[in-house]
């Protein structure tokens, strides 16, 4: 049995509220997954494996309980005492593992306190000298005590290797979310997106018994279209930076059509990846490059995807925050990268304008270039490889004007039906009715 005293704070209730207030339930689960993947990465290196095949994390969500179980090597008693169950970072605590993603020790505590009130944790290393323990935490009883101690009991692992966390007496909001199939489906989709590169390495994640499918990031690559590719080492931090951007979808034909502009819009934009963990997905804000001294995001740019990978064996050098769902865009390593990100974006923005000159040819060229997975795109030179896109000759410039007017929706619907397409956009209705007037009244 192991027992210790951690640093005290005025009230535990305040502490719990403070660390859980601004984190979502999905982020809690991501924190626990990060720990599992870090364990798998450590074990795979010790066993000299080339990937994460064979390692898994199973997540069960229900109205009354939550569980996550993995086979990723467990925690040693020292790590549990000085890191996982300690409030604040001890000066002699173990250093973060190379290339880890679970950088911040607050993650597990924050997650379990947010989820529920009665928690049981079992862990076994499975490696000599084998260590196994369990901890039972009744949050209400613990909060009523003056001491800030947790009790760890040594157990017989009985062949068990890894970590199991089960939580009962879920908080009301947690119970509501976990029993909502919409939340579960979105969580499964998001896990496939944020942990795509670990799933590709063979790591398996199941949510309520259903395997998570990897989201495949890719851009078009062919004879007339190819992505921007650049890789370099940041001189001041030693962080490896890799940037890939290009055409991932089809730009909208009509930048004024709400239906076209809203389709799959969350997929487009910039993605920031730290040690293979997707931190920011489909960003269209000033957090990356949009706006300020660069064009702000416009739906006309739908179809663009850019990924920037930051990799380091020193996680503290990477531009992410404690939740790993946001970036610290003020860090110099990130600011230095934005100049390349702008270069990797500009040509696509220009292309969305020029393709309108010969739309049918542009669509034919785009469809002829297959989507190639990001991980299959190789760096072939030290200098940046610019994005390749077709060039169309400009049509003779004709001075144009804009015709705009409003009409009742019911009347617009009748006109669309009369024109033979009830799904016609308002802009198309205006264009067709104008053409009808020109043909029948103007005679051109």
Quick one: 209 exposed, middle or buried, by C-beta within 10 A (0-12, 13-18, 19+)? exposed
Task: Please name the residue ranges forming H helices in 288-327.
Answer: none
Q: Judge whether residue 100 has pLDDT over 70.
A: no
For the chain, the helix, strand and coil percentages under 3-state DSSP, each to the nearest 5: 35, 25, 40
Q: Judge whether residue 260 has pLDDT over 60.
A: no
Mean pLDDT of 318-329: 85
Distances (CA, A) of 415 to 63, 94, 269, 406, 421: 50, 71, 36, 13, 9
C-alpha torsion sign, points 75, 124, 127, 40: negative
Distances (CA, A) of 414 to 41, 316, 411, 419, 427: 61, 60, 5, 9, 15
Give the integer Cα–Cα distance in Å for 311 and 309. 6
**CB-based contact 111:36 (threshold 8 Å):** no
Give the integer Cα–Cα distance in Å for 279 and 288. 12
Give the integer Cα–Cα distance in Å for 226 and 314. 33
Give the integer Cα–Cα distance in Å for 164 and 176. 23
Q: Judge whether residue 189 has pLDDT over 50.
A: yes
Distances (CA, A) of 36 to 73, 163, 240, 340: 8, 8, 24, 33
Range picked from 109-118, 122-131, 150-159, 346-355 for highest mean pLDDT: 346-355
Greater model confidence, 8 or 248: 248
Task: Please name the residue ranges forming H helices in 209-331.
Answer: 258-262
What is the pLDDT confidence band of residue 220, given thresholds at 50, 70 and 90? very high
Select from 216, 225, 217, 253 the least CA-distant residue to 367: 225
The structural domains of the chain, ordered by start, are: 2-211 (3.30.565.10), 218-376 (3.30.230), 409-442 (no CATH)
Q: Judge whether residue 72 has pLDDT over 90.
A: yes
Give the integer Cα–Cα distance in Å for 97 and 38. 8
How many Cα atoms occupy the beta-carbon half-sphere of 37 within 13 Å?
29
Q: What is the pLDDT of residue 87?
A: 60
The Cβ of residue 45 has, within 10 Å, a number of other Cβ atoms equal to: 12
What is the pLDDT confidence band of residue 127, given thresholds at 50, 70 and 90? confident
pTM for this model (two decimals): 0.81
Q: Judge whether residue 187 has pLDDT over 50.
A: yes
The per-type count for the chain, helices as H runs and strands as E runs, is 13, 16
Q: What is the pLDDT of residue 82?
A: 72
Share of the chain above pLDDT 90, in %: 49
Average pLDDT over all residues of the chain: 85
Give the integer Cα–Cα distance in Å for 319 and 326. 9
Q: What is the pLDDT of residue 427?
A: 83
The SS3 of residue 76 is coil
C-alpha torsion sign, points 233, 234, 237, 243: negative
What is the pLDDT confidence band of residue 335, given thresholds at 50, 70 and 90? very high
Phi, psi for 364 (deg, rounded to 5):
-65, -45
Select from 138, 185, 190, 131 the least CA-distant residue to 162: 131
Mean pLDDT of 147-172: 86
Q: Which of 14-18, 106-110, 378-382 has the lowest mean pLDDT?
A: 14-18
How many Cα atoms occupy the beta-carbon half-sphere of 24 within 13 Å?
10
Give the integer Cα–Cα distance in Å for 359 and 255. 13
Q: Please name the residues in contact with 441: beta carbons below 8 A apart, sequence gap of 6 or more.
A: none
Radius of gyration of the chain (CA): 27
Q: For 267, which DSSP code? A: G
Q: What is the pLDDT of residue 259?
A: 57
Mean pLDDT of 251-265: 65
Q: What is the pLDDT of residue 255?
A: 57
């Amino acid at each position: 049995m192991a027992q210790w005293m951690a640093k005290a704070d005025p009230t535990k209730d305040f502490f719990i509220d403070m660390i859980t207030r601004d984190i979502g339930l999905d982020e809690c689960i991501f924190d626990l997954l990060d720990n599992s993947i870090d364990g798998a990465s450590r074990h795979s290196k010790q066993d000299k494996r080339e990937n994460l095949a064979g390692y898994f994390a199973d997540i069960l969500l229900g109205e009354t309980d939550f569980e996550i179980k993995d086979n990723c090597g467990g925690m040693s008693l020292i790590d549990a005492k000085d890191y996982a169950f300690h409030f604040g970072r001890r000066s002699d605590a173990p250093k973060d593992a190379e290339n880890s993603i679970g950088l911040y020790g607050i993650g597990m505590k924050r997650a379990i306190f947010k989820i529920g009130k009665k928690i049981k944790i079992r862990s076994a290393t499975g490696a000599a000298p084998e260590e196994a323990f369990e901890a039972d935490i009744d949050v209400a009883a613990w909060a009523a005590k003056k001491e800030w101690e947790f009790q760890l009991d040594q157990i017989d692992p009985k062949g068990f290797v890894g970590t199991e966390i089960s939580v009962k007496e879920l908080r009301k909001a947690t119970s509501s979310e976990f029993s909502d199939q919409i939340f579960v489906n979105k969580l499964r989709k998001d896990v496939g997106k944020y942990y795509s590169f670990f799933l590709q390495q063979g790591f398996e994640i199941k949510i309520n018994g259903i395997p998570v499918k990897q989201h495949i990031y890719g851009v078009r690559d062919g004879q007339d279209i190819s992505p921007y590719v650049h890789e370099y080492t940041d001189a001041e931090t030693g962080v490896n930076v890799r940037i890939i951007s290009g055409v991932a979808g089809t730009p909208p034909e009509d930048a004024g059509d709400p239906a076209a502009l809203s389709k799959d819009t969350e997929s487009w934009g910039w993605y920031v990846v730290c040690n293979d963990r997707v931190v920011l997905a489909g960003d269209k804000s000033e957090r990356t490059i949009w706006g300020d001294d660069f064009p702000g995001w416009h739906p006309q740019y739908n179809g663009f995807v850019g990924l920037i990978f930051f990799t380091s064996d020193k996680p503290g050098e990477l531009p992410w925050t404690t939740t790993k769902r946001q970036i610290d865009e003020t860090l110099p390593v990130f600011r230095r990268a934005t100049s390349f990100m702008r270069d990797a974006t500009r040509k696509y923005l220009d292309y969305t304008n020029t393709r309108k000159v010969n739309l049918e040819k542009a669509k034919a060229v785009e469809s002829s270039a297959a989507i190639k997975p990001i991980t299959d795109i190789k760096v072939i030179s030290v200098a940046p490889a610019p994005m390749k896109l077709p060039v169309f000759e400009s049509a003779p410039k004709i001075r144009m004007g804009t015709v705009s007017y409003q009409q009742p929706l019911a009347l617009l619907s009748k006109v669309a039906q009369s024109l033979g397409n009830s799904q016609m956009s308002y802009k198309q209705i205006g264009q067709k009715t104008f053409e009808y007037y020109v043909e029948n009244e103007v005679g051109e």
